[in-house]
A and B are shown apart, each in its own frame.
Chain A
Amino acid sequence: MADVVHPVHGEVHRHPAPTGFIRKWVFSTDHKVIGIQYWCLALFSVFIGMALSLLMRLQLGWPGEEWGFLKTLFPNAAENGTISGELYLSMLTMHGTIMVFFVLTTAPQGGFGNYFLPIQIGADDMAFPVLNMMSFWITFLALVVLISAFFADSLAPMFGMTAASNVIGPIGGWTGYAPLSALGEKAGPGQGLGVILWITSIALFCIASLLGALNFITTMLNMRAKGMSLMRLPLTCWAWFTTAVLALLSFPVLLAAGILLLLDHLAGTSFFIPGNSYVNGKLITEHSGGSPILWQHLFWFFGHPEVYIAILPGMGLTSHILATFARKPVFGYRVMVYALFSIGLLGFFVWGHHMFISGMSPYSAIAFSLITLTIGVPSAIKTFNWLGTLWGGQIRFTTPMLFAIGFVSLFVSGGITGLFLGQTSIDLPLHDTYFVVGHFHLIMGVAAIFGMFAGTYFWFPKMFGKMMNEGMGKLHFFITFIGVNAIFIPMHIMGMAGATRRYSFHFNPVTGEGLHYLSNMTPLTRFVSYAAFFTIAGQLIFLVNLVWSWAKGRKASENPWEATSLEWTIPSPPPHDNFAGILPEVHRGPYEYSVPGAPRDFMMQSEPGAAEVHGD
């Protein structure tokens, strides 16, 4: 072989700025464009999920009422103008799946993580830009497949299946418990094609998340700028890294479970279907010997880390924003990193606390319970360190700061109820009631969403070069903060009163049907519905603010918040390869605010100086 050496010009950035519209905005390999794509996908999804919750609250507050617009929207499933039980369950399934996967998992990690991880560590792009692009487009495909599950009823005849006339999609909840989810059409309407599309969507989402996680981990391990030691990383990067590790190890388990469930559907196997099941008035003879509990184990082995995948980026972001606007270093930086890791690690050993009522041995329940309560320790460390960061700071109450403080508040109120539910004896009566619904909405739903809002208000100037309107932002914060507490705190009370979750109504005051012991809960249920309408309306302010700021907002400077991390050293919005070909050098920790003797109250990470103060 000829050992010819051709001179080839090297480039610091491997892919030059694309010029065509398709390569630049659609199939882009630029991590910033991909970040914005993820963020837009989550924004689109969150409004679908919210619209579904609006319809569900309408049904729960006024069961049996006829609404003309429902007849138009769902001619099959709501022919009388009321939401049928199946339609309600279908909406519930879609709301849960869309929110958990396409909002809580995509925006904080795929959106902000993609955009800011490379910039904050001083790299010009992700380690594998093509994988990154594939990761987004597979996620997009997964969303398309999931939304098509809505229309399973109309699609079914095309696949040679019978159309169930009163349902729009899968009805198994986001947890898709077997054996009903595994039996197909035999288990009822929406369980045939609807569930097949639902599993397919989740399997695609798993693959996309795995590609993303691989990219995040490699990028952070291998592409940090000179001087960016591990203990100089912004806490956001640590949070994205931990999240990526959780995704890497938990999504394959969901993928495995999804494959098994799909085989039960399509290949006639019996992984999850026990023998002698009597479903829908029919004895199931085709399957035997499967274990429905196996599905729960596999699902929750994924499901518990998944809720941390949703919340951890918010924790990193909150630490980052609290320090920025309190003009103080993060209190106990090193401990914050360790606490983040412990929460992630412990998250793998507590899946059983979702299954206390599944008939598991009390001994394993005690083990799961103890480990669950142990998570309270790193969580408390984080909370107190956030308070310590705020303590004595010269706090600037900007909109991102308000949302970050709101995150801490929701994290506490949602987390405290976790300590209740983590104990077997209290969980047994509260399981499958609105207490659980209130708990997980506060902590993994709304707290994580507050993290996203904080991130949006904080980074919008960098991403789009325009400041967001502060007045509208603050109004949005107060409406949302009051609103979500008014929605979810009463749910705890309803749960203690025995209001079961996943029921399309509890008590119908018109016909007198339903659970009579809940008849005096009707005013509270309606209050929650009103609070939900109020909160959802408040989100329109956010939407208006986004569009208005994007079109007409004040131009953002390079560093409008006087923050210290690397993304604030480059123009807003950043150029194609982030640092214009010259990679930065890092000289100090990420939170050097109010350093004694320094000329300003903040020191950029790239600022050289004699005093090399570390983050802790």
Chain B
Amino acid sequence: MAEHKLTTPLSDEDVKKLKAGDTVFLNGTIYTGRDAAHKRLVELIKKGEPLPVDFKGQVIYYVGPAPAKPGQAIGSAGPTTSYRMDPYAPALIEKGLKGMIGKGPRGEDVVEAMKKHCAVYLAATGGAAALIAKSVTKCEVIAYEDLGAEAIRKMEVKDMPLIVAQDCHGGNQFAEGVKQYEKT
């Protein structure tokens, strides 16, 4: 299982070399978004209106951080469960989104969109929120401030520790990992 150091924005070549089970240390700008923000983004796409962020080559982190203490760039910031974003993700992938970060497996529609448009799904460790926050150097709300923890944030990350959970070739570490360690 390979280790990759990546910097956003991601190209098709960056995504294609990632295989399920690989480790990634992610650098650069990423955006946050979860249930409520995704609902609004997809409503805009349906209406044909412009999005608050151009997602071409970008990565969305499914997170609603805790409030920052004085002196912190961000409060504890671990991933939320990704399947809740499955109804919205394909529309964003079509708009050029290259990566998603969350926890737990994705559904068939998302997998198909990832294969078709070359995108990757990365897992962060759920519940390791204080540790992950240490890799965030900057964070600001850029859209939907009224959503509070669910607002869209732009953040800078340095060596954010991730695992390739589902790759653009159909590889799925959830399925493969369980198969490998299952005892019947």
A binds B: no
The residues of A with any CB-CB pair to B shorter than 8 Å are none
